[in-house]
Structure formats: C-alpha cells, structure tokens
A and B are shown apart, each in its own frame.
Chain A
Amino acid sequence: MVRVLKLELRGITKRFGSLIANDHIDVVVEPGQIHCLLGENGAGKSTLMNVLYGLYEPSEGEILVDGEAVTFRGPGDAMAAGIGMVHQHFMLVPVFTVAENVALGAETTKAGGFLNLDDTRRKIKEISDKYGFDVDPDALIEDLPVGVQQRVEIIKALVRDAKVLILDEPTAVLTPQDTDELLDIMRQLKSNGTSIVFISHKLREVKAVSDTITVIRRGKVVGAADPGASTTELASMMVGRAVNLTLDKAPAKPQETTFQVKDLTVIAPTGQHVVDGISFDIARGEILAVAGVQGNGQTELTEAILGLQERCHGSILLDGEELLGHSVKEVLRAGVGFVPEDRTVDGLIGTFSIAENLVLDLYDQAPYAKGISMSPARILENAKSRIDEFDVRTPSGSLAAGTLSGGNQQKVVMARELSRPLRLFIASQPTRGVDVGSIEFLHKRIVAERDRGTPVMIVSTELDEVIELADRIAVLYRGKLVGIVPAGTGRDVLGLMMAGLSPESAHADTAHAPVQTSTSGAEGGDHE
C-alpha cells in the first residue's frame, strides 16, 4: 500500500489588507478520504487551498503534515510534501504538449540538462492506462477539450506522487457526463489511497462523493455536515439562512409568437458554420432555454441576434421586423434586453461606477443626457432606485462596479437590461459564478419578466438552471439544433441530446438502459 498522509490545518487566518479571507480555520483531512469544503463563491475556500498549496503565506496558523508542523514557501514545498492541486483555471501552457506540461518543474533530464520527455511520456501512459484517461502525451493542450485538460492536471499531480489532491471547483467547466466521469475518477483515486480535498458549491456532487463535509461561510468554518443530509439542509448551512431551492413558478401562459429565428447560419472567420441553419420561435410570456455544452454555438447565436456577428444568413424577426443586418444600437432600441455570458468582459466596465454601468445603454438619451452633456444627478438617482429594486449589496452607487461580488455585478447587469420596456429578453449564463442567494433572486426576476409578457431566451450550460427556468428546452450541438423538447424532459435525455443524439433516440436509449449515475437522474429540483 502506498504511503498515506494526514493533513491538518490549524487556526489558519489569511488577511488581505483589512479583508479577512480566512478566519481561524481548522480542517483535518484524514488519509484516504474525500473531504469536501462546501461554501459559496467568495466564502474563502480557494484562498484556504492556496495557503495550503504554498501560493499564499498564512497570516496566522499552521499546517501539519502527519502531525508535524510545516512551512510551505512555495508550491514546490507543498508538492514535495505530497500535496497536488488542480486549479479552477487550469495551470497548463496552451502551446505546450501534454508531456511538456506534465514535465514542467519536475523534468527528467539527460546529461547536460537536455530534456528527457520519453520518461514523462511513459509515466503519462502508465497513469492514463491505470485510470482510463485516454490522454495522448504529444497532443497540444490548446487542441484538447476541457475535460481532457482537467485529466492532464490530475496526471500532473499524480506524476509528482501527490498523496493529497486538491480539486478547486473541478466541475465548473464540465458537462453532466464529464462530471460523472470525474466523480468516478475521484472514487478510483480514493480507493488507491489518494486523499482528495474537493472544493465545491454544487450540492448534488458534494453529496455524491464526499466522506466528510466542512462548510465554510464568510471565511469561517460553520461546521461539519453529514453527506447524508438533504440538499436543503446543506444549502441553508452554506448560505446561513433558510433557502428555498425550488423556484415558485406559475405555469407559462404563452400568448402570441413575436420572436422568430428562421434558418439562421453564422459563419465564423474560420469558415466554420458555428450556427448551422437554426429555426425556432418564442411566444410572449414564455421562456425558451437553450441548453448545450459550452462552445456549441450558443455564444454566436446570441451575438447574431444582437447584431454582433458579421456573417449571418437567415432571418431574425421581432414583431415582424427584421433584426438581422441592423447595428447593435438599433437592435437594443428595438427593445431587446441582453445579459452577456461574461459580465466582467461584456457586461460591465469594471472601473466605471455602478451608476454609470446602470446607464451604459441609455447614457446618450434623456433624462441622462442633455445635448452633449450628461446629467450625473439623474444617473445617481436612477442608480439608487435600481440598487434598491435589485437588492445590490453596496454602500454607494458611485463605487466602481469591479469592486462588487459576482452576484451583485450580475444584478447590476440585469437591472440595467430590465430597466427598459422590452420586447425580447436574452440572458446568457445568467447565474454563472453567482452565490445561491443571488441565484434565487435573479431567477425570480427572469420569471417575472416572462410573466410581464416578454418572450425570454435563456442560454445556460448548467442543466439545473435550464430545467428550473425553461418552459421549452432547445438543445444545441455543434451549431445545430438537436431538438426542442418540453419542460419536464428527463435530465438523462437532455444529457444525451447535449452529446448530439436526437430527442427520439435519446428517449429510446434512456428507456432501454437506465443510466442512473450519481449526478444525473436524482433530485431534479436542486440548484447546481
């Protein structure tokens, strides 16, 4: 049996200036266990793990490995002590091959410092075969799908003989199927004697694999939880108050169809048809959720509607008017509200104030502008009412938007887009990287917009969110519409459709062989 390792964090405190990210945190990771750190975004989980991995020095407290206090001056020390980490944002050099990335920092060399990648290739093959990873050591990282990149990260840790593997939000970038595979890999690693620290805020996954759960809230340990506890219990521990996980949503009352997309094709600069002959329509008072794995044309679809894509064919009709070929400004003026998928890049200007961000689309119109001058008083006034209405947690509207937490930033974007009378509302990844409390709020606002009689289009890679919000579900795969299915379609059927199977064969497949793996199947109503 391989060497095992017991890891203990005692009274770890980490301050950044006046901000206390970790406040006297105690965690014990027993050998051969999957220990979950459960907490919302911004609770301090990642900071804690960066302290453990030697990337940050703790302000107070100590780390004990097998009962002995250690000091990590850098990740090198942590790795030498048998700790490996898979970061949320992969630490892989995109232009390097798998072997080069794995070798980096622990290179085997021939005489004279020449690289000996053969040795690394052999090790990769060994681990790859053992866990069924199927990774080619000579493939370039930038050519690999994210799921495979993640396996490369795990290989990196295993090659360095990690006894404790830290996985920081590992499922954030994965499809439901990939997630199931990862959970299987975690169990396999555990049975081979590797302990795992699993950082997550996704309750279903946490419940599926954890042996022990430590809940962290606002930088403090609030207690241990039993993996058998219900998701509602876990969620309220994590958030610190009772949470209602299921959205109260009245059945849709679709009215007349006002938004139609016909044979829409978007051609990328590479010549690829990234959106390929898509047709669908949305009625007033209805939410159409577009599901699919990231990168299957969702981004281009929403951009085409907004007028951001150059080479489009087909037709996009809103109340009978053609949107295609019009500038973004004209599309917005036509009454389209748009929440982009990446709020920090496309949704907000981080260095501008919250108030300014709230009028980015109307800054040049009355009452915010008069001739060539803006009216700061009006803009601040507007900010006050929006901040109240959308419960943005900030002391003042004149603070930079970049200082807000993810959830509050998203509320600002949503507040701006919903502040105009809309004829179509599109939200892309409306709750990505947003805390549970805000998710609840944002979902309610989206449903409220629907009930006001606006056609709503949601694009999400989170199956839970799709299932929760949708009145109808459209699944995209490789730029094509696989099918549109009614709300209430099974999670397993949707998962297969996301892999490209038609609705009919997906139904047939799930009927014959019930693939009830850990995360797919059970408990439909959960938040991620």
Chain B
Amino acid sequence: MSTTATSPVPGKPQQGKQQPGTPKSASEKAPAVSAKPVTWKVPVLLAVLGVVAFIFFGVMGPNQTARFGISSSGDFFQLPAIEVPAFLGGIVLSVLMLGLAGYAVYLKTRNEASPGWLPIVFIVLFVAAFLIWVVGGARTPSISLAGLIAGSVTLAVPLVFGSLSGVLCERVGVVNIAIEGQLLGGAFTAAMVATLTKSPFVGLLAAAVAGAVVSMVLAVFSIKYLVNQIIVGVVLNVLVSGLTGFLFSTVMQANKAQFNSPGRLPIIDIPVLSSIPVIGPILFKQSVVGYLMYIAVIVVWIGLFKTKWGLRVRAVGEHPQAADTMGIKVNATRFWNVTLGGAVAGIGGSFFTLVAIDSFTKEISGGRGFIALAALIFGRWNPIGAFFAALLFGFADNLQSIVTIIGTPVPSQFMAMLPYLVTVLAVAGLVGRSRPPAASGIPYVKG
C-alpha cells in the first residue's frame, strides 16, 4: 500500500534527527529510543506466500492463455490487450516472488530490515499472478482490465466516504463504529428526500444532514454523557437499521412512486479526458458523489496535516489534556468533528440510492460501514491510506463478481473472503506497525 510513502504522521522514530548539537547533560546522553527490531515476520510471511503462489499459480497453473483487455471501444486511442500464457506467467511471477522473499531472508540474516517497497512489489506480483491464475482457469479466459478497475473504484466510493468519516472521528479521539448506521441513514434519507423534492441534489444534501444527525447522537452520548463509544456505535447501527427498515416496509413499499423513486445523479463525462484508456473512466467519468470522493480525500488530508484546524484536531485525539492547557476546547472540537464525519459518511450513503441503483431497499449498505472501518485501520488512520485500502476492498469485491461471470472453478464465496484475508495479513505486519491516535476511544473529563 502506498501509505508508507504518503503518511506524514505514523510514528517512525526519526533516528538521525534527535539530539542536535552536543549533549549537555546526563539525561541527554541516556540511551535513545532504539530502532525497530528486525523480525522474521516479513521474510517468513513472504516466503510462505511465495511457495503457495509457486505451487498453485505456477506448478498447478492452468494451461490456457489469459487475456486482459485494456481499452474499451469508446476510448480515445486503443491499446492492445495483454495476453499471458497462464502457466508460464504463474511460474515467472511466483519465481520473482520467491526471489523477493529470498532477498528479505538474506537481509534478515544480515540483521537488516526489508525496504518498504519490497512487500508492496510483492503484493502487486501476487495479485497479478492470482489474476492470471483465475482468468486462465475460467471458461472464457478473458476479462477487461479497464472494466475491472473502473468497477473497483465505483464499489469503493461508499467505503472511501465511510473510512474518511472514521478518520475524522478517530483523529479527534472518538471511535466511530456507527459508520454503517451513517451510511444507511444517508442512503435512506437521500432516497426519500430526492423523491419528495424530485431533485437528487437535494437528496444528496439531505443524506449529509442525516449522517450528521446519526453522528450527533454518537457525539452527545459519548462526549457529554461518557457512554462507552463502542456500545453507542453498535446500538446506533441497530437503531438506524430498524428505523429505516420499518419506514421502508410501512411507507416506501406501499407507495414506491411517491416515496422511493429518487432518480439518479447524472454521470458527468468530461470530454476527451474521459476517453483516456483505463484512467479516463476512473477520474473523469463519475457521478457528483464520485468526484466529491476525490475532493474529500484531498481536502481531509490537507486539512488534517497542513492547517491549524488539523493540528488542533490531531492534538485533541492524541493528548487532549495538552490541547486543553493550550486553550483548545476539547469536547467542542470532538463534537463538531464527529458531526462532520457523520455528514461525510451520509454523502457516502447517498451513493447507494442515487448512483448505484435508484431506490432504497432494506439494509442496502450491507455491512460496508464495517469494511470501511477495516479500511481505516489498514490505511493507518490516514485519509490517503484509507482511500487506497478502500480501493483494494472494492477491487476484491468487483473481482469476485467478474470472476463469477466468466466462470472459474473457484467458488465465488472463496473469492469473497479474499479482501479480509488480505487485511489480516496486512495488519499482521506487512505494512508495518499501525498506531491509532493515542486518545482514541477515551472520553475527556477535565481535571
């Protein structure tokens, strides 16, 4: 994941920087915080995965040629499709992976840590080998890579909004388990309001308000009444699910035309740019919600790490007492940030009813709020990290449905497990130690 390169915060002790000048007193000469220990974790994990890849994707690989389309017919210029003999591709890629694993082992024997690019390259190779294996073994061994990626981005939209909501809340010290409820609340309200006002844009706005309202409940109970944040969050999810389910079956189902026909937000196609193969549809052929997603990621990142607001927010999430003694109103900051987070998640929820399909159904968010939570942790509490983590989950999700369509011998349920497997491995140490904001989940009581 690219988080290692982009995140300015997560703690790597900066060895070279400390102790400028000559140490003057005894305590300055005391032992410094030592470097991260070099463990066997990464080399062993890579070696095991490499062997698995070699056996399954290589030795036992299928004999067809896998075909990956890159351009679609409407593109600005055409790129030839990539064709890979599955067996040979599997062997070559898995040997490369074993080479990387070997290099990591070699570094470990010299007591050096693997460089940050190594696991990333490894993951890319692994995913490529996996794709070749899956496609090569399918009945029709051909998929559109462009379609796969564009679909991944689409599926990732609500996840990205959800994880941004999590970033905004946890950075300020409140654990937001209620992302699911905020997504669902946003989806429902968007459908309802858009139908009533006959304007999807008003629906979008209403979704943000709905998410914010759900979040305010979390904020009031966890900040003012010091109720356990996890419990409030879980209860909120159940509450929103019940409430929207009830209103759906009593109001919406009875009169669909009047209450549950929001219409869709238009897809805005930026001419020329949208015809660039692969990246065109991803960046320049999106709904308003899709464009808002890119803007939100960048704005939240800049806001958190480059502005006065962000400095205060992070201080409140790391060391609320320090913030308080510097005249920052801790609980007010928390309240408004959590509210803002809810609004962001609400917008993400509108994606379900205003972009993906044009009506609300029960439980339409389908647990994506929890996946967003995983993306947040995988992305190390960093907006950009969370964005890429959400993309990975979207990719796995999309791959699963495409693979089912082209007909592979692997049951789709197994494919559906993939993203979670990846999360477990990643969080286990491939991307380094992840450290949440120190005061996350701890209510602040003055004095």
Bound: A85/B322 CA distance, A: 11
State whether B311 touches A115 (Cβ < 8 A): yes
With A74-B327, A136-B20, A268-B34 as known contacts, state yes or no: A91 contacts B25, CB within 8 Å.
Answer: no
Bound: A144/B18 CA distance, A: 7
Cβ-neighbour of B34 out of A94, A101, A138, A271 (below 8 A): A271
Q: Indicate if A33 sits at the interface (CB-CB under 8 A).
A: no
With A100-B311, A142-B11, A177-B26 as known contacts, state yes or no: A105 contacts B326, CB within 8 Å.
Answer: yes
Digit string of B7-32 for contact with A (CB within 8 Å is 1, else 0)? Answer: 00101011001111100111111111
What is the total of A-B residue contacts with beta carbons within 8 Å?
158
Q: Assuming A270-B37, A272-B34, what are 18 further A-B pairs, CB within 8 angstroms?
A: A50-B447, A74-B327, A74-B329, A87-B325, A93-B319, A104-B322, A104-B326, A107-B308, A114-B307, A142-B33, A143-B18, A147-B27, A181-B24, A181-B25, A270-B36, A295-B31, A296-B30, A500-B29
State whether B326 touches A499 (Cβ < 8 A): no
Contacts of A90 in B (CB 8 A): 322
State whether B27 touches A178 (Cβ < 8 A): yes
Cβ-neighbour of B17 out of A115, A138, A148 (below 8 A): A138
State whether A91 touches B321 (Cβ < 8 A): yes
Digit string of A78-112 for contact with B (CB within 8 Å is 1, else 0)? Answer: 01000001010011111110001101111101001
State whether A106 touches B326 (Cβ < 8 A): yes
Q: Indicate if A336 sits at the interface (CB-CB under 8 A).
A: no
State whether B327 touches A96 (Cβ < 8 A): no
In the assembled complex, the CB of A164 is this many whole angstroms from the nearest CB of chain B, namely 15
State whether A139 touches B27 (Cβ < 8 A): no
Bound: A181/B446 CA distance, A: 33
In the assembled complex, the CB of B37 is this many whole angstroms from the nearest CB of chain A, namely 5
Cβ-neighbour of A174 out of B27, B35, B38, B325 (below 8 A): B27
Contacts of B321 in A (CB 8 A): 91
Q: Indicate if B438 sits at the interface (CB-CB under 8 A).
A: yes
Contacts of A294 in B (CB 8 A): 27, 30
Minimum CB distance partner of A156 in chain B? B326
Digit string of B25-66 for contact with A (CB within 8 Å is 1, else 0)? Answer: 111111111111110000000000000000000000000000
Cβ-neighbour of B35 out of A77, A181, A270, A295 (below 8 A): A270
What are 10 A-B pairs at a CB distance below 8 A? Answer: A55-B324, A77-B327, A79-B326, A94-B319, A104-B315, A105-B312, A105-B327, A145-B28, A274-B31, A293-B30
State whether B28 touches A148 (Cβ < 8 A): yes
Contacts of B30 in A (CB 8 A): 145, 293-296, 478
Minimum CB distance partner of A269 in chain B? B37
Q: Indicate if B306 sits at the interface (CB-CB under 8 A).
A: yes
State whether A92 touches B17 (Cβ < 8 A): no
State whether A145 touches B447 (Cβ < 8 A): no
Bound: A136/B11 CA distance, A: 18
In the assembled complex, the CB of B17 is this many whole angstroms from the nearest CB of chain A, namely 5
State whether B20 touches A134 (Cβ < 8 A): yes
Number of A interface residues at 8 Å Cβ cutoff, please give it: 65
Contacts of B25 in A (CB 8 A): 147, 175, 177-178, 181, 499
State whether B26 touches A109 (Cβ < 8 A): no
Minimum CB distance partner of A272 in chain B? B34
Minimum CB distance partner of B321 in chain A? A91
Cβ-neighbour of A113 out of B14, B308, B323, B326 (below 8 A): B308
In the assembled complex, the CB of A73 is this many whole angstroms from the nearest CB of chain B, namely 10
Chain B 316-334 interface residues, beta-carbon cutoff 8 Å to A: 318-319, 321-329
Digit string of A438-457 for contact with B (CB within 8 Å is 1, else 0)? Answer: 00000000000000000000
Contacts of A101 in B (CB 8 A): 322
State whether B11 touches A115 (Cβ < 8 A): no
Contacts of B327 in A (CB 8 A): 74-77, 79, 105
Chain B 422-447 interface residues, beta-carbon cutoff 8 Å to A: 438, 446-447
State whether A115 touches B307 (Cβ < 8 A): yes
State whether A115 touches B28 (Cβ < 8 A): no
State whether A91 touches B325 (Cβ < 8 A): yes
In the assembled complex, the CB of B262 is this many whole angstroms from the nearest CB of chain A, namely 35
Minimum CB distance partner of B328 in chain A? A105
The 3 tightest CB contacts between A and B, nearest first, are A76-B327, A105-B326, A499-B26
Q: Indicate if A498 sits at the interface (CB-CB under 8 A).
A: yes
Q: Indicate if A56 sits at the interface (CB-CB under 8 A).
A: yes
Q: Indicate if B285 sits at the interface (CB-CB under 8 A).
A: no
State whether B17 touches A178 (Cβ < 8 A): no
Q: Indicate if A338 sits at the interface (CB-CB under 8 A).
A: no
State whether B33 touches A143 (Cβ < 8 A): yes
Bound: A227/B389 CA distance, A: 63
Contacts of A55 in B (CB 8 A): 324-325, 446-447
In the assembled complex, the CB of A331 is this many whole angstroms from the nearest CB of chain B, namely 26
State whether A142 touches B13 (Cβ < 8 A): yes
Q: Indicate if A245 sits at the interface (CB-CB under 8 A).
A: no
State whether A293 touches B17 (Cβ < 8 A): no
Bound: A271/B35 CA distance, A: 9
Minimum CB distance partner of A500 in chain B? B29
Q: Indicate if B309 sits at the interface (CB-CB under 8 A).
A: yes
Bound: A17/B11 CA distance, A: 41
Q: Indicate if B67 sits at the interface (CB-CB under 8 A).
A: no
Contacts of A106 in B (CB 8 A): 326
Cβ-neighbour of B31 out of A91, A147, A478 (below 8 A): A478
Chain A 207-245 interface residues, beta-carbon cutoff 8 Å to B: none
State whether B13 touches A113 (Cβ < 8 A): no
Bound: A495/B29 CA distance, A: 13
Digit string of A41-61 for contact with B (CB within 8 Å is 1, else 0)? Answer: 000000000100101100000
Contacts of A113 in B (CB 8 A): 307-309
Contacts of A138 in B (CB 8 A): 17
Bound: A505/B436 CA distance, A: 47
In the assembled complex, the CB of B431 is this many whole angstroms from the nearest CB of chain A, namely 18
Bound: A293/B447 CA distance, A: 30
Contacts of B11 in A (CB 8 A): 95, 140, 142
Q: Indicate if A146 sits at the interface (CB-CB under 8 A).
A: yes
Contacts of B329 in A (CB 8 A): 74
State whether A115 touches B308 (Cβ < 8 A): yes
Bound: A146/B314 CA distance, A: 22
Q: Indicate if A479 sits at the interface (CB-CB under 8 A).
A: yes
State whether B319 touches A146 (Cβ < 8 A): no
Bound: A95/B446 CA distance, A: 22
Bound: A92/B19 CA distance, A: 18
Chain B 75-98 interface residues, beta-carbon cutoff 8 Å to A: none
State whether B319 touches A92 (Cβ < 8 A): yes
In the assembled complex, the CB of B87 is this many whole angstroms from the nearest CB of chain A, namely 43
In the assembled complex, the CB of A29 is this many whole angstroms from the nearest CB of chain B, namely 20
In the assembled complex, the CB of B224 is this many whole angstroms from the nearest CB of chain A, namely 18
Interface centre among A95, A103, A294 (most CB of B within 10 A): A95
Contacts of A156 in B (CB 8 A): 326
State whether A271 touches B309 (Cβ < 8 A): no
Digit string of B279-316 for contact with A (CB within 8 Å is 1, else 0)? Answer: 00000000000000000000000000011111110110
